[in-house]
Amino acid sequence: MTNISEKDWEIFHENFRISRDELLPIFPYKANFEELKQLLWDSKTDRVFNNRFNAILWRFPISISENDFLKILQFFLLENWHHDHEHIISSLQQYYNKDRNTIMYLIKIMSELPDFYKHDEDLKYPFIRKIIYAIGAQPEPYNIEALEKISQSEDKEIKELALHQIEKRKKLGRWEAKD
């Protein structure tokens, strides 16, 4: 990928309300898998890294498959230096919920909470609930198996969240089922 000039970054950031597809005619770069991963990694050193990380992840024009984009999400889900975990988890729940391997990434982030969530109970459990819901949305029967393991937790709230999700998944099926 050609180095992106500051002027092009300005164009990218000034057009924050438009989608990847709408951005392409005025922002002529399309990142492949390695380029996108490197751009995201490089955003770590940006003084407003989280804003750039978020913008690159969700809006930068790409030329990669959905499967490769899922791999990017899985990789960066476990990185602790950005603040986009909740958005990634929501996407894994709603859109990228067909790969059973995602479950291991979700379990790992739950067991190794990012610092932002570790020490604040008001943030911790809503974050864990979001993770458990995302696990429930993954392919069956792997989602139920993972939730059953999580329900063995000694943490009462985690146990209750997992048991509730097991009951819901057994009753309604995967995420696509409507309440």
Domain limits, the chain: 1-64, 66-179
CB-count burial class (<10 Å; 0-12, 13-18, 19+) for 77: buried
Is residue 13 pLDDT above 90, yes or no? Answer: no
Residue 146 confidence (pLDDT) above 70: yes
pTM equals: 0.87
Residues of the chain with pLDDT > 70: what percent?
Answer: 92
Region 7-22: mean pLDDT is: 89
What confidence category does residue 9 fall into, taking pLDDT thresholds of 50, 70 and 90? confident
Four-residue CA torsion sign, 59, 65, 66, 67: negative
* Gyration radius of the chain's alpha carbons: 18
Q: What is the pLDDT of residue 1?
A: 55
Under the banding of pLDDT at 50, 70 and 90, the label for residue 179 is: very low
Three-state DSSP class for 31? strand
Residue pLDDT, tens place only, 23-35: 988 888 899 999 9
What six digits make up the tokens of 36?
Answer: 């996108």
The CA-based angle 134-56-78, given to 5 degrees, is 40
- From residue 114, how far is each of 5, 44, 81 by CA, in Å? 32, 15, 8
User: What DSSP designation does 59 have?
Assistant: H
Of residues 108, 96, 103, the one with CA closest to residue 72? 96
Q: What's the confidence (pLDDT) of residue 178?
A: 44
C-alpha to C-alpha distance for 108 and 96, rounded to whole angstroms? 17
